């Protein structure tokens, strides 16, 4: 859909997701970290003005350029007010708190540089790792508090408190936004990569809304990952491995759901809908990632995703299981354990897979019950249906519930 074919209410949420964080990063680079709320306010006011103006006058010829022009004008207006304030209470303002009075620069290069420096700025070592990730997701990725809470599987009040403390530390931080320091990069890169990884996962399998797949979040994660690999200071093997993983996973997005939004299992996907361009890009970045001796979880997950895009290899699942065995030793998580069990069942059969799954004892996990149901489906329909019903009770995703209900219907039809 073109910009002019869409209504303001359809177009603005997309532009907000894509442009708001870029706008905030440039303005924050311009004003300084201590004025991050000012930068966010100007960006928010820009989109409010767009809603009012576009609703009355229609969408402009170049909506993105319009937004940046308004943001620049609002920044200039703010700075003019600051000049008046400075002249009236000059002695009360400390030199380090004075704002730069030149115009903000919204060129593509400045936007990219600002995004890169801002993501390292918000990943402040004075904050706990979880708080760093929360803040980066909100400031640079445009996540709402509810989306962050869903990504961390925790309460919104907990996230609010975490963000409040993290923002206070951010304003006090003297991280330089004008130029990245190699030592600061080394100190903060792991958190940056985890943030992008979480962002992509929320888009690839969303648990915070009615959509199973949120391509805008996946695209944003890919864009941030690409920025890292395009800068010599951040073009590490880990960054390339993460980008390879996201490319491989993104290559199958169009095949993962039908027009009604129902999930399509991997084995039932139309492989003609897979993006060969993204698979090729994944191969390129995976090769770049393998130039050193280090192996991270991103390397292993990228390898697993690679084998998923090569369906003709008869030993594919053996390769995938081998990589999962390494991954679960490197960094255990319930999701990894369940995915490994699925691969285990592909190699050794459903009966062996059921025994392996039951060892996990993840009774409060919806995916645990849906996996057991999938494995029971060929031998015990009653147990399979019971498993899917328990998964429905535990999942928070409306889309996932719909998929599980459809799975039950298919099993009930087999009885007849």
pLDDT at residue 96 in the model: 46
Buried b (16+ CB within 10 A) or exposed e, 198-235: bbbbbbbbbbbbebbbbeebbbbbbebbbbbbeeeebe
Check the CA dihedral 68-213-257-397 and report its sign. Answer: negative
Q: Taking the model in full, what pTM does it have?
A: 0.81
- Give the span between the Cα atoms of 311 and 289, in whole angstroms: 23
Domains of the chain in start order, with CATH, are: 1-106 (1.10.1740)
Mean pLDDT of 10-24: 89
Share of the chain above pLDDT 90, in %: 51
Give tens-digit pLDDT for 49-98: 999 999 999 999 999 999 999 999 999 888 887 765 555 555 554 544 45
């Amino acid at each position: 859909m073109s910009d002019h074919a869409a209504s303001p209410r359809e177009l603005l949420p997309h532009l907000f997701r894509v442009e708001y964080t870029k706008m905030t990063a440039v303005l924050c680079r311009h004003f300084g970290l201590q004025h991050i709320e000012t930068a966010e306010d100007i960006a928010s006011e820009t989109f409010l003005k767009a809603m009012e103006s576009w609703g009355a006058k229609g969408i402009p010829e170049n909506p993105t350029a319009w937004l940046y022009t308004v943001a620049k004008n609002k920044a200039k207006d703010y700075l003019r007010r600051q000049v008046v304030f400075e002249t009236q209470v000059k002695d009360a303002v400390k030199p380090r708190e004075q704002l730069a009075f030149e115009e903000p620069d919204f060129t593509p290069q400045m936007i990219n540089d600002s995004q890169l420096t801002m993501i390292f700025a918000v990943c402040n070592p004075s904050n706990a790792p979880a708080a760093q990730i929360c803040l980066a997701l909100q400031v640079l990725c445009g996540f709402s508090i509810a989306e962050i809470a869903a990504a961390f599987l925790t309460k919104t009040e907990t996230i609010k408190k975490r963000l409040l403390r993290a923002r206070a530390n951010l304003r006090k931080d003297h991280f330089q936004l004008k130029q990245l320091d190699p030592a600061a990069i080394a100190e903060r890169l792991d958190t940056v990569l985890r943030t992008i990884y979480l962002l992509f996962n929320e888009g690839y399998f969303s648990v915070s809304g009615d959509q199973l797949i949120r391509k805008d979040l996946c695209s944003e994660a890919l864009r941030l990952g690409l920025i890292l690999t395009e800068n010599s200071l951040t073009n590490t093997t880990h960054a390339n491995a993460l980008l390879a993983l996201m490319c491989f996973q993104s290559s199958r997005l169009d095949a993962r759901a039908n027009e009604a939004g129902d999930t399509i299992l991997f084995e039932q996907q139309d492989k003609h809908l897979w993006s060969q361009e993204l698979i090729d890009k994944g191969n390129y970045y995976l090769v770049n990632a393998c130039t050193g001796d280090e192996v991270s979880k991103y390397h292993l997950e990228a390898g697993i995703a690679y084998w998923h895009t090569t369906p003709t290899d008869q030993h594919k699942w053996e390769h995938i299981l081998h990589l999962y065995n390494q991954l679960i030793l490197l960094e255990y998580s319930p999701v990894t354990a369940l995915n490994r069990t699925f691969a285990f069942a592909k190699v050794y059969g459903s009966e062996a897979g059921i025994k392996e799954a039951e060892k996990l004892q993840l009774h409060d996990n919806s995916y645990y019950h849906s996996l057991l149901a999938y494995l029971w489906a060929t031998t015990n329909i009653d147990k399979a249906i019971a498993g899917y019903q328990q998964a429905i009770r535990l999942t928070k995703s409306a889309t996932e519930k719909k998929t599980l209900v459809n799975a039950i219907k298919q099993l009930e039809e087999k009885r007849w």
